[in-house]
Amino acid sequence: MENSSIKKVNNYLSLIKFSHTVFALPFAIIGYFLAITYTDATFNLRLFALVILCMVFARSAAMAFNRYIDRKIDEQNARTAVREIPAGVVKPNAALAFVIINCVLFVATTYFINTLCFYLSPIALLVVLGYSLTKRFTALCHLVLGIGLALAPIGAYLAVTGAFSWLPLFFSFAVLFWVSGFDIIYALQDEEFDKSKNLKSIPVWLGTKGALTLSTVLHIFSALFVIYAGIYAHFNMWYWVGVAVFTGLLTYQHTLVKPNDLSKVNIAFFTTNGIASILFAVFVLIDLFLK
């Protein structure tokens, strides 16, 4: 019985790719501590835990909804046919129930944060869930995903302050262009399949070479935003070490993927970006703690 329960938990963690939380969660933590450092707010463990829970619930709902909505498409794609729903590991109705539960938990958690976050929570869910539908009608679906993850730093900042500010927005723009850029790289794997099913993506629209070029441009914008944020907020040495690491890893992932060689897409997508996000957050936090 216990082994069965553990297996079921593991199936759902796999369904939502829980390990991919490393992309946005570090930026949510940055947003939280920006508010602590640059306003009169003080660290509150309860509020910090609520912010983390919001991230987990929103992302879990978004990923499970994506798998639910795309289940018919996934079963026709050799790369994705092994996913939990088309493989029969998780039933579609169970996945949908999982989405609803996480949405309810997300909204309920924002209620205990502040009024603004509570009122904005349906909009946040509309963005992160809506992404899953966009590849059916626009090649700009990657940017919608970027917007969804870009809510992390500004959302965490709002949780602490209840007010908007430019500084966390600069980090949100950095996340927007960073995520959009690497999602384009990831989508290269399905270029031919998407064409055959009339699905939209930047690779389908621009081709492999054009998609890689646009991804590079987006990552340049991401780097510019973290650089500008450092200048704007007068960050010190440790921040700039983090910027160097982050931009270096962005550059490195573009050396891994070539128009005629997509064999290292997964390394570029997950490993490189996961490390970039975590290390950047570590250096930013060190800088903030030393202020």
Domain layout of the chain by residue ranges: 2-289
Q: What are the C-alpha distances in Å from 286 to residues 178, 180, 204, 279, 283?
A: 22, 27, 42, 11, 5
Say which residue the tokens 């946005």 belong to: 24
Q: What are the C-alpha distances in Å from 163 to residues 25, 201, 276?
A: 20, 35, 28
Q: Indicate the Cα dihedral angle 234, 246, 130, 68, nearest 10°.
A: -150
Domain 2-289: which topology? Tetracycline Repressor; domain 2 (1.10.357)
* Spatial distance between the Cα atoms of 117 and 240, rounded to a whole number of angstroms: 31
* Spatial distance between the Cα atoms of 172 and 213, rounded to a whole number of angstroms: 22
* Spatial distance between the Cα atoms of 185 and 246, rounded to a whole number of angstroms: 17
pLDDT of residue 114 exceeding 80: yes
Confidence label for 126 from pLDDT (cuts 50, 70 and 90)? very high
* Spatial distance between the Cα atoms of 273 and 246, rounded to a whole number of angstroms: 9
Q: Which residues contact 259 (CB under 8 A, 6 or more apart)?
A: 208, 209, 212
Share of the chain above pLDDT 90, in %: 82
| pTM of the complete model | 0.93
User: Which pLDDT belongs to residue 259?
Assistant: 85
The SS3 assignment for 31 reads helix
Q: What are the C-alpha distances in Å from 169 to residues 20, 35, 123, 189, 245?
A: 22, 12, 17, 31, 21
User: Which pLDDT belongs to residue 8?
Assistant: 66
Lowest-confidence pick of 4-13, 18-27, 246-255, 280-289: 4-13
Q: What is the pLDDT of residues 138-173, one digit of tens each?
A: 999 999 999 999 999 999 999 999 999 999 999 999
Nearest in space to 35 (alpha carbons), one of 55, 51, 54: 51
Q: What is the mean pLDDT of the chain?
A: 92
